[in-house]
Amino acid sequence: MSAAPTRRRPPRVGDQPLFRRTLIGLVLFIGVFLVLAPLVVIGVEAFAKGWQVYSATISHPDTLHAIMLTVLTALVAVPVNTAFGVAAAWSITKFDFWGKRFLLIVIEIPFSVSPIVAGVAYLFVYGLQGIFGPTLDTWNIKILFAIPGIILASMFVTAPFVARELIPLMQAQGRDLEEAATSLGASGWRTFFSVTLPNIKWALLYGVVLCNARVMGEFGAVSVVSGNIRGQTNTLPLHIELLYHDYQATGAFAAASILAVIAVFTIIAKVALERRGAGRRASPAARPSLLSKPAENNA
């Protein structure tokens, strides 16, 4: 009796050792020289003239003002975008309404539009020759070349970050738990804080961390609407550019080291949140079911 012929496993990507090693080596090479090397250079050049020069640059009034303005922008823009992201994700995933697709498109617009274009668009809306410019000037309200313009531009650029993290997760979770809570008499706010928020808290924090990092590092849109007024409307990225143009390379690297440290802490927070499940997309099969819970409890 002849033995049954053995079926050969189809070849898979990575079976060839040469291909696998070449690809991994190429990725590591690009990662080291394109991403890691500039960060190392920032740290080395920032302290090239010693700790005293570094400390003097950081403690300079213009640098301190740029840091404070950057922090202020984040303190306003991040909570507003967080509230917008939660509200948008809740509306899109929990309700059926006309215009849902349009709302999704609106959320994606800041990712498709260049920050420079967004800044120029704000000029045509709030500038003296813009749509609301004459009215704002009559009431002596200053938006552009002032702090409100910086905050508005930063909010525009970072508006999608929280929503993009929450929408896929909340779509995968479905509406079963919220509908069960509502049927038991829970109000909308109680349903959100008792049911929805505990299920999305890590993804929400994940989006907030990314949004905060982008706000603090935003350059393009802010450079257009701020006017680059030294000591008044300069955020930290704009201040770094001014230092570089003034041939103060060491000072520019010293100020840039602050953003580099923020980036490192952002990566650490991002990895920690990913270990708790943030940033992952739950499959519909893994969606919690209200019908299965009583059976598990009875068992």
DSSP string, 227-285: ---TTTT--HHHHHHHHHHTT-HHHHHHHHHHHHHHHHHHHHHHHHHHHTTTT----GG
Per-residue pLDDT reduced to its tens digit, 191-250: 888 888 888 988 899 999 999 999 999 998 999 998 888 888 899 999 999 988 888 888
Work out the pLDDT band at 3, boundaries 50, 70, 90: low
Q: Decide if 220 is inside a domain.
A: yes
Task: Assess whether pLDDT exceeds 50 at residue 108.
Answer: yes
Judge whether 253 and 236 are in contact, CB under 8 Å: no
Q: Decide if 269 is inside a domain.
A: yes
Q: Decide if 45 is inside a domain.
A: no
- Type and span of the H or E element at 10: none
DSSP codes of every residue in 125-194: HHSTTSSSHHHHHHTT---TTSHHHHHHHHHHHHTHHHHHHHHHHHHHH-SHHHHHHHHTT--HHHHIII
Lowest mean pLDDT among 2-11, 28-37, 84-93, 207-216: 2-11
Q: What percent of the chain is predicted at pLDDT more than 90?
A: 29
Q: Decide if 1 is inside a domain.
A: no
Q: What pLDDT, on a 0 to 100 scale, did the predictor assign at position 87?
A: 92
Lowest mean pLDDT among 145-149, 213-217, 261-265, 279-283: 279-283
CATH number for 249 = 1.10.3720.10
- The CA distance from 128 to 125, in Å, is 9
Average pLDDT over residues 274-291: 51
Report the predicted TM-score, pTM, of the whole model to 2 decimal places: 0.80
Judge whether 42 and 257 are in contact, CB under 8 Å: yes
First to last CA, the chain: 50
Look up residue 105 and give its DSSP letter. Answer: H
Q: Decide if 8 is inside a domain.
A: no
Task: Give backbone dihedrals phi and psi of 82, rounded to 5 degrees, phi first.
Answer: -65, -45
Q: Decide if 277 is inside a domain.
A: yes
Domain count for the chain:
1
Q: Decide if 103 is inside a domain.
A: yes
Task: Give whole-number Cα distances, 263 to 27, 143, 256, 266, in Å.
Answer: 21, 29, 11, 5
Work out the pLDDT band at 69, boundaries 50, 70, 90: very high
- The CA distance from 58 to 64, in Å, is 7
Q: Decide if 274 is inside a domain.
A: yes
List the domain range (segments joined by +) for residue 156: 51-287
Task: Give whole-number Cα distances, 270 to 133, 262, 274, 278, in Å.
Answer: 40, 12, 6, 8
Q: Which two tokens stand for residue 110?
A: 């800041």
